[in-house]
Structure formats: C-alpha cells, structure tokens
C-alpha cells in the first residue's frame, strides 16, 4: 500500500513538472501551417504587450493567426532568437525589400513588439540616409517605388505610426529637389483616391512646412544658372547632396542626431540611458 502510494505521489509530481514545463512555452500557428512555432512564454511576455496581456490573464498558451504572413513571422522569430535582422531583410538591393520591411513593422505594431518595430525603424533610417554610389539605385532613391512604399505603408499600418512619417518625409525631399510631381513622387490616381481619409494629405502638408524651413540656399532648386545654361548633372547631384544632408536624420559623419529617437516606439530615455543605436 505504501509503495503504491509513493508511486502515485511520484507520478503526480512528474505530471506537475511536465505541465509546468509545457506552460512555460507557447504554441503559435501561422497562416495555414500545421506545425506550430514553439516560443518561450517569458520571451513573449517580455517583448510583446499583446501576448503579455493575454497570457497573464489566463489565455491558453496556444494561438492561431491564419491571416498573417509566414515570411514576416519568420523575420520576427529570427529577431527574437538572434536579436538581429536576417540578411533576407537587410540586403538593400533585393527586389521588394521595402514591402517586407513595411509588413514586418506592421506585424510588430499589431502584436505590440515595440523593440522589434524600433529595430526595423533603425534599419530604415540607416538605409534611407545612406546616399548610394552612382552605379547603385536602391528602392528609396526611386520615385515610383517610394510612391508604392508610402501607399503600402498607409494600407498596412495604424494612423500616426512613425513609419508613415519617415516615408512621407522622403516624398517631401523629392518634392523640394524637383517639384515635377505635386506630392514629390508619382502616385497613381487610384493611390490618391485610396489616401482619402487616411491622413496622408495632412501629413504631407505638415512635413512640407516643417522641412521647408531648414533648406539652405545652395540646396534650393534652380533650373537655369546665372550664365543661362541648364543645371549640369554634377551640380544637380551636389545640390541633392546638400538637400539630403539638410533634411537627414544624421550628420555628415553618419552619426545619429539626437532627434532620431523621435521615430522610435519605446521611450526616448530607454535608448539614451543605454547609449545605443540600432546598428
């Protein structure tokens, strides 16, 4: 009798321990995948306000997100594990990189992964402030692609999100450089219709007023020189350099200025105290 009792107690303790170990992990099914991602509960509660609220309220440690994209979740999970972004995202010359960037930022926004959003933003700020060589034309230097990036961002993110501000600022930069397009980049008629009620027009006007005050004379557009000749490509490139630097979130030595934290989701003090940048 005593042996049976001891065996029962031991077996019960083993079951309790197994249950506790299982409860320390969370299963997440993404898209139409039949195999879940297994993530430590503590990691999710630490990094995500969405999961922290649900799990600490007693939610079963199993989630299904059939409408989410598998690729963006893979980037997020890689970041959770490695604390860095995978090369598939940070290689600037890959096609449609900007779309993945936007979708990853939107995923972080959706589930409250604020540090992940800031890591994505750090990459965006670093890339769009890197003036490329003459043989390189990444997506942030192509007007039509920037137009699509803005449209994609306004479809995918919430109002007042920081990513909207950054891309609209890029459109304003194009506008001041060469105002051939009323909004700096060539939006299609359908894109402009889709912007109705989204806050784009108000944000563009706000950024146009703010950024216009800081443009130096040497960066202002001047099609015809004093001698009556058209602006040379060299002069045009030099002028765009001045314009880009005057509006840049970095100084000429590629150091982040103090106001880069304005684009972060987490409190500024968190980054100032830690003295780090998203490199």
In a domain, 279, yes or no: no
Claim to verify: residue 167 and residue 254 sit in the same structural domain: yes
- Weakest mean pLDDT among 86-90, 123-127, 217-221: 217-221
Average of per-residue pLDDT across 245-274: 68
Instruction: Provide the pLDDT for residue 24.
Output: 84
Claim to verify: residue 105 and residue 147 sit in the same structural domain: yes
Claim to verify: residue 80 and residue 155 sit in the same structural domain: yes
Q: Could you give the residue ranges of the DSSP H alpha helices within 24-96?
A: 41-47, 49-56, 70-82, 87-90
Final residue of a structural domain among 67, 96, 113: 67
Final residue of a structural domain among 67, 91, 118: 67
Instruction: Provide the pLDDT for residue 146.
Output: 87
Claim to verify: residue 188 and residue 134 sit in the same structural domain: yes
Contact assessment for residue 108 and residue 101, using Cβ atoms and an 8 Å cutoff: no
pLDDT reading at 278 higher than 50: no
Which contiguous run of DSSP H or E holds residue 220?
Answer: none
Claim to verify: residue 78 and residue 26 sit in the same structural domain: no
16 compared with 64, residue with greater pLDDT: 64
> Residue by residue, what is the 3-state secondary structure of 100-169?
HHHHHHHHHHHHCCHHHHHHHHHHHHHHHCCCCCCCCCCHHHCHHHHHHHHHHHHHHCCCCCHHHHHHHH
Claim to verify: residue 190 and residue 244 sit in the same structural domain: yes
Average of per-residue pLDDT across 50-72: 95
Average of per-residue pLDDT across 83-102: 75
Claim to verify: residue 74 and residue 55 sit in the same structural domain: no
pLDDT reading at 159 higher than 80: yes
The residue segments making up the domain with residue 187 are: 70-274
Claim to verify: residue 250 and residue 131 sit in the same structural domain: yes
pLDDT reading at 153 higher than 70: yes
Q: Which residues contact 58 (CB under 8 A, 6 or more apart)?
A: none
Instruction: Provide the pLDDT for residue 77.
Output: 96
In a domain, 122, yes or no: yes
Final residue of a structural domain among 67, 82, 100: 67
Claim to verify: residue 112 and residue 87 sit in the same structural domain: yes
Average of per-residue pLDDT across 251-266: 70
Claim to verify: residue 222 and residue 85 sit in the same structural domain: yes
What are the pLDDT digits (tens) for 20-34? 555 689 999 999 999
> How far lies 106's CA from each of 27, 134, 229, 253, in Å?
21, 32, 47, 31
Instruction: Provide the pLDDT for residue 279.
Output: 44
Claim to verify: residue 81 and residue 39 sit in the same structural domain: no
- Domain count across the chain: 2
pLDDT reading at 103 higher than 60: yes
Claim to verify: residue 125 and residue 188 sit in the same structural domain: yes
């Amino acid at each position: 009798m005593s042996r049976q009792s001891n065996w029962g107690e031991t077996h019960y303790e083993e079951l309790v321990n197994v249950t506790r170990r299982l409860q320390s992990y969370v299963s997440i099914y993404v898209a139409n995948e039949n195999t879940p991602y297994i993530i430590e509960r503590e990691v999710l509660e630490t990094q995500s306000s969405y999961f922290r609220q649900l799990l600490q309220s007693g939610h079963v440690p199993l989630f299904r997100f059939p409408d989410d994209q598998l690729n963006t979740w893979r980037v997020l999970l890689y970041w959770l594990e490695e604390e860095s972004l995978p090369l598939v995202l940070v290689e600037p010359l890959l096609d449609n990189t900007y779309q993945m960037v936007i979708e990853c930022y939107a995923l972080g926004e959706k589930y409250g992964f604020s540090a992940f959003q800031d890591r994505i933003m750090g990459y965006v700020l670093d890339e769009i402030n890197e003036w490329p060589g003459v043989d390189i034309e990444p997506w942030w230097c192509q007007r039509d692609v920037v137009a699509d990036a803005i449209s994609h961002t306004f479809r995918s993110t919430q109002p007042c999100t920081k990513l909207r501000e950054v891309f609209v600022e890029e459109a304003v930069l194009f506008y001041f450089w060469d105002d051939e397009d009323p909004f700096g980049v060539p939006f299609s008629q359908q894109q402009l219709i889709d912007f109705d009620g989204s806050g784009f027009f108000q944000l563009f006007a706000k950024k146009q007023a703010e950024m216009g005050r800081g443009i130096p004379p040497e960066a202002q557009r001047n099609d015809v020189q004093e001698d009556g000749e058209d602006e040379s490509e060299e002069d045009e490139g030099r002028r765009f350099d001045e314009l880009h630097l005057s509006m840049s979130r970095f100084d000429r030595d590629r150091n982040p200025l103090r106001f880069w934290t304005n684009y972060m989701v987490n409190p500024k003090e968190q980054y100032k105290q830690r003295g780090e940048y998203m490199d």
